[in-house]
Homo-oligomer: A and B are copies of this chain.
Amino acid sequence: LADVVGADGVVTDGDELAHFGSDRCRGGWPVDPAMIVFARSASHVQGVVRACAAHGVAIVPSGGRTGLSGAATATQGEVVLSLQRMGRVLDIDEVARTLRCEAGTIVQTVQETAASVGLLYPVAFAAQGSAVVGGTIATNAGGLRVVRYGHTRDWVMGLSVVLASGELVELGGQLFKNNTGYDLRQLFIGSEGTLGVIVEATLRLCEPPRGTVSALCAVPDDSTVLAVFTRARRHGLTLQAFECFDRRCLEHVQEHRGRERIGPFSAPSPQHALIEVEVTGYGPDAEDHARDELTTCLASAQDAGEITDAVIAATRQQSVQLWSLREDITESLHRYTPFKSDVALPLARVTAFLEAFRARVAEALPDIETVVFGHVGDGNLHLNILRPEAMELDEFVRRCAGFADEMYAMVRAHGGSISAEHGIGLLKRPYLHYSRSPEEIAMMRAVKRAIDPDGLFNPGKIFEP
């Protein structure tokens, strides 16, 4: 391997093995890579793959290691193949609105490069400053603007991938249209490094919004959040985001910041809807019109009793403040070592699911607090179960694990998904059957065998080998 990538490209030092051998998700598994290999080019990747294949050593493809499901963790002496040193933007085409880059390019670099020519790469999420393009493709990253822009999948135009044979294949190219048989590119999107190594991507870009207007609404309960969403849609507002967070989320952020009161309301409400509306249209009054429409819509919601209070940000700074209430939730919960979940429901089932979920939590985990927030416009809820300070971590993990099966069974019963955004990796592998049928899992295994017959790439991720 040192012959392939140079001596400085191979790391076997203990601390570095631990650092580069795992993503952000720590579970009950060991972190045990044989070594870390840093490629600097597609041909490096080809050489590493060929060498590993020849010696029967498995490969864990690795990017920014910001994943939340253990998909980029080596647990059994694999070679971790890092693309972190392949971070160049290769090309940007302002007219076709495409950007070509190496797979190790940081997402924020893509966003900034796009912005430098007046365009937008619209996939945006908390880890965008560390996550790399290849990793976001392999996990089909979502984020805050999915309700408007979809997932990473929707922005991948072409991929270059190194297969288990060491061959470099180009899937898709720079083409908007290409109906020439199976779209193999799609298989690699969301494959969590199990089918090959993504070494280069051509991403689509779009025009940025002309502006946005944000509002925070106090909402009396879970079901009414959906009523507000319905109203906003029917009103014809172009939503850039529609987020919710419950009373306890706001209280935790409040506590975390050490203040008595935050946010615009005199007291936290049972639920909150954070709405971002896009300014559309060409005229000089476009932003005023968007603000007027949002105001009218919220006034009618207030008349209908769907919101008890609302504030529309008047300035950019106010908007940032409103958004920080949502964005700081995760950090404010950190001290509780929460048991996190990332479920998706059909929109029509969100309310019924939440009702059933809250009732069951109250029964099954009476002394344990649960908070709910999420990208409710996509039906995506982050349900966080918090460890009471007095409870040992072991007991907490045991009780949560006991509840997880029940929770995911409820998700299934409501036609939902056990992983909206984060993928399966190692963390949710035991629960995969709640979202995918035996026939589907058999098809996935068959596809894996068809493309990576010797199981070279990321064995044990998503499903058991």
Contacts and interface: CB of A to CB of B under 8 A. Distances in A.
Given A183-B189, A282-B292, A449-B450, A420 B177 contact: yes
Given A95-B348, A180-B424, A190-B183, A417 B282 contact: no
Among A181, A449, A462, max chain B CB count under 10 A is at: A181
A463 B180 CA distance: 10
Nearest to A235: B282
Given A184-B440, A451-B443, A177 B421 contact: yes
Given A281-B286, A283-B285, A380 B450 contact: no
A292 to B, nearest CB: 7
B289 A347 contact: no
A403 B189 CA distance: 37
Contacts of A280: 280-282
Contact of A346 (B175, B234, B236, B443): B175
A229 interface: yes
- Report the copy number of this chain in the oligomer: 2
Interface string A118-152: 00000000000000000000011010001100110
Contacts of A423: 179-180
A10 B451 CA distance: 39
Nearest to A178: B417
A116 interface: no
Interface of A: 93-97, 139-140, 142, 146-147, 150-151, 153-154, 163, 165, 167, 169-171, 173-184, 186-187, 189-192, 207, 226, 229-230, 233-234, 236, 238, 280-283, 285-286, 289-290, 292-293, 344-348, 375, 378-380, 415-424, 428, 432, 435-437, 439-441, 443-444, 446-447, 449-451, 462-463
